[in-house]
Structure 1
Amino acid sequence: MKRATRFMVETVATNGGYVWSYLPDMSRRWGEMEAYPSMIWVQPPGTATMGHLFLDAYHATGDAYYYEAADKTANALIAIQQDNGGWHYFGDFGGEASTRRWYDTIGKNAWRLEEFQHYWGNSTFDDAGTSEAMQFLLRLYVEKHDARYLPALKKALGFVLESQYPIGGWPQRWPLKSDFSHHGKPDYTSFITFNDDVAGENIRFLIMVYQVLGGDAKVMDAITRAMNVYLVTQQGQPQPGWGLQHSLDLKPIGARTYEPTALVTHTTAANIRQLMSFYRLTGEIKFLARIPEALDWLESVRLPADQVRNGRAFPTFIEIGTNKPLYVHRRGSNVVNGEYYVDYSPEHTLTHYSSFRAIDVAALRREYAALKASDPAEIAKDSPLHSGVAKPLPRYWLLDDIETSDLNTAGGKRDPQT
């Protein structure tokens, strides 16, 4: 392990940071897209993921070399942190001209990866990049209370607090910009975003801050509003689900051209899990109140047995108003001749963004029933939001398999949930 770490730190790293994959001779490298040698990737599993790994190794061995490796990784993230306090998908030590050249050549040809087709010049919550970077810096700070990390950490906290909408949700990118109207669709980056657990990851970071740095009223207010946004964005009957994004009038709205305006089954399931988590944190029964409606709605859109694909019994997208499944397809082969389109046919759907999902509704019902039968005060008694006592963060972070893009995985193997 030490030999592998030395290789990563002393040979592979760029100013302490990393991308996702490299050719053996280091002649080419990739994050979610091909990267310049001057780039490091923030989007997981990138630079902060490596930092967590090094800190885990330090905890397991007590060897200071791993702490020093984590410190180098933190310095790389701090170096590319934007003035607004957040991070982009990547940082480029080649400077602004190099970044713009990348967008003008590689990024603009991102067939399918539409988020790379335009350079907003701001920070993103997408894909947990900013979230993981913030969490890692917080974790490293509380390890030895090294004040060198505090300015970046405070900037990151300010970014989360300032970018939050009054109603409680967050946009995908901030500061807000609306200059990427593409394929006849509005710029989606200002919408309230649940996709990729944007709201959930920000809540997680804020709870960590509240838990280990002491109870700050502004942080608690942000957490409360963020939890409540899940309640106000749940749609009414007869379709009490959620979308990937919601407009500021709280209605589901589309994003990339293969993400139509629709209710979304896996997002609805994820938000149900979040509501149950909020009940455990607060003991407030309001977070359980409408879960049965959402579960019943999910069950109502379950596919017939002969349409289930590889155990995935739920269509991803459900048309608003009709409850019909929507299926996404594409034609062409690149950004010049290609396009995505939506219809009602389940044949020849996308492979990179599944039109079918595996959701264990029965398990969600069991979990809900157990919580509904619980004593609210008892279940929340040890909550970091209630105890008033600082609590340590988990000692180990990377206990599960690390997921990466199918573009970086041999054979294009994919998680059955995605």
Structure 2
Amino acid sequence: MFNKTSLLIALLGSCLIAPLQADTSTSLTATQTQQTASDEAAWKTYLATSKKLRKADQDFLSAELKTLGKKEPELPEYTKEFGFEVKQSPDWFKSTEGKRVMDVILSFQTPSGGWSKRTDMSKAPRKPGQAFGVEKGYIPTFDNGATSTQLQLLAQAYQATGDARYAAAFSKGLDFIITAQYPNGGWPQNYPLVGKYHDHITYNDALMSDLMAMLHKVAKAKNEFAFVTKEQQQAAQASLTRALDCVLKTQVITNGKLTIWGAQHDAKTLKPAQARAYEMVSLSSSESVWMLDLLMDLDKPSADIIKSVHAAAAWYEQTQILSKVWERGAATLTDDVKAPPVWARFYEIGTNKPVFGDRDGSIFYEVGKVSEERRAGYAWYTTAPNKILKKYAKWSKTYPR
């Protein structure tokens, strides 16, 4: 599998990964023209590969259904996460129960190499003719920790048991992650691509940072990832390097200053983008915090990454809301002098004003104007940055401004 990945890395590494420029009237130099052509070729290859893998997944299930004389697949059981705990002891993986759960996880890996979300992978192996996930548009996906979580467990299982099936499934999944990476270094929410906002570069729900953390561990080949090959290490490091370049390019600049990131960014222009109707173009404090956390875990960060971290931390310090609390569903913040700082989930780009949305696409400056259903059904404020700012206080002593 990694011969294919190596070829893809070589192709993507040569392409232009800077954001597209609005002014295209200026004539291009020969080098720029060559880079643009290389960029276009990389995207063409990427989209063709996505289409090919989508068809492979569909054909696999269709063949099973045809053999069974069925037209529609049976759905597996739903669960909020995956039905299993990620951190397990070596003895658990050697136990009858551990082996049973791992067999279930193996059975739900798609032909393309990934896994789905909200699908119970702890009760029974996938049966022929059964869908690989409960949500059609998320088969497979990186959303809500899908795929990265399964790879984490497979690595632990292989280290504990030496079962070659776990290493093979891990290799296939790692190859899937690298293949799914855009030429500019970002990742879509779902792959193979399904369209609409799912194709945006996704920081939402820690998607980018989860994948990058996985690659960072594989590149270091330590602990549960000590078994990976040298080629896998190199492939993971190359992928991580491209991802970091994308992270630096997507950090939003307003009034000449670096801030944080949006929840989603356009895959081509790299600009913040809208997702669901109530998830507007904005700066996202909830999603950016996980990326900031990841950046501070890097060994020997570059000058650009150090600058990025300081800027993001400064933004959080400047936008914190003091002596206030919010309970889900409430129409206003309430006073509490003992409360830790809180942040709105979304901020208007350019003004840093908190913004809130609704299912009809309306955008408000006050959470109380959002429908009761969305106030109760969405996390409009967060205290998560507090933990990261404490980490930053220590990190900044090692890497001062």
Structure 2 length normalisation: TM-score? 0.65
Match of 1:244 among 242, 253, 263: 263
Q: Which residue of 2 aligns with 1:11?
A: none
Verify the 8 A CA contact 1:288 1:368 in the aligned structure 2.
no
User: Can you list the C-alpha shifts for 1:53-98, whole angstroms capped at 9, x where unaligned?
Assistant: 5x42726xxxx8x6322221111111121110001122794665x6
Answer whether contact 2:90 2:160 (CA < 8 A) is retained: no
1:222-246 superposed Cα distances (whole Å, 9 cap, x missing partner): 1221233221111113362101111
Equivalent position SS for 1:298: helix
Equivalent residue number for residue 215 of structure 1: 230
State the match for 1:146 in structure 2: 163
- In the other structure, the counterpart of 2:105 is 77
Counterparts of 1:147 and 1:341, CA distance in 2: 52
Could you tell me which residue of structure 2 aligns to residue 297 of structure 1? Answer: 315
Give the whole-Å Cα distance in 2 for the aligned partners of 1:247 and 1:38: 32
Kept in 2: contact 1:42–1:133 (CA 8 A): no
Aligned partner of 1:192 in structure 2 is 201
Match of 1:263 in 2: 283
Deviation at 1:326, TM superposition (A): 0.5
The one-letter amino acid paired with 2:115 is W
The 3 A distance-change label for structure 1 pair 38 and 262 is closer
Q: Check the 8 A contact 2:180/2:191 in 1, yes or no.
A: yes
Task: Name stretches of at least 5 consecutive residues in structure 1 with no aligned partner.
Answer: 1-35, 104-115, 179-186, 331-338, 375-418
- d(CA) in 2 for partners of 1:300 and 1:291? 14
Cα 1:174/1:229, change in 2 over 3 Å: same
Question: Structure 1 residue 343 and structure 2 residue 343: aligned?
Answer: no
The letter of the residue matching 2:311 is E
Q: Match for 2:343 among 314, 337, 346?
A: 314
Cα offset, 1:286, TM superposition = 2.7
Q: How far 1:157 sits from its partner (Å)?
A: 1.2
Distance 1:196 1:73 in 2: 25
Aligned match of 2:52: none
User: How many residues were matched structurally?
Assistant: 296
> C-alpha separation between the residues in 2 aligned to 1:312 and 1:321?
22
Correspondence for 1:183? none
- Paired residues for 1:226-245 under 5 Å: 226-238=243-255, 240-245=259-264
**Cα distance, 1:323–1:38 mapped onto 2, change above 3 Å:** closer
- Alpha-carbon contact 1:134-1:156 (below 8 Å) kept: yes
Distance 1:130 1:41, change over 3 A: farther
Q: Distance in 2 between matches of 1:172 and 1:287?
A: 24
Aligned-pair RMSD on alpha carbons?
3.1
Cα separation, 2, equivalents of 1:283 and 1:314: 27
Given the alignment, which residue of 282, 285, 309 partners 2:300?
A: 282
CA contact (8 A) 2:143 2:205 kept: yes
Helix, strand or coil at the partner of 1:327: strand
* Distance of 1:132 and 1:288 partners within structure 2: 28
CA contact (8 A) 1:230 1:275 kept: no
Alignment of 1:127-142 (within 5 A): 127-142=144-159
For 2:230, give the aligned amino acid.
G
Change in Cα spacing, 1:68 to 1:41, as seen in structure 2 (3 Å) is farther
| Larger fraction in helix | 2
Note closer, same or farther for the CA distance 1:302–1:129 as it changes in structure 2 (3 Å cut): same
Contact kept, 8 Å, 2:215 with 2:236, in 1: the verdict is yes
Unaligned runs of 5+ in 2: 1-72, 325-331
Partners of 1:41 and 1:205 lie apart in 2 by 26
- Report sequence identity in percent: 24
Partners of 2:164 and 2:391 lie apart in 1 by: 43
How big is each residue's C-alpha offset from its partner over 1:255-286, in whole Å with a ceiling of 9 and x where there is no partner? Answer: 122221111112233222222112xx234333
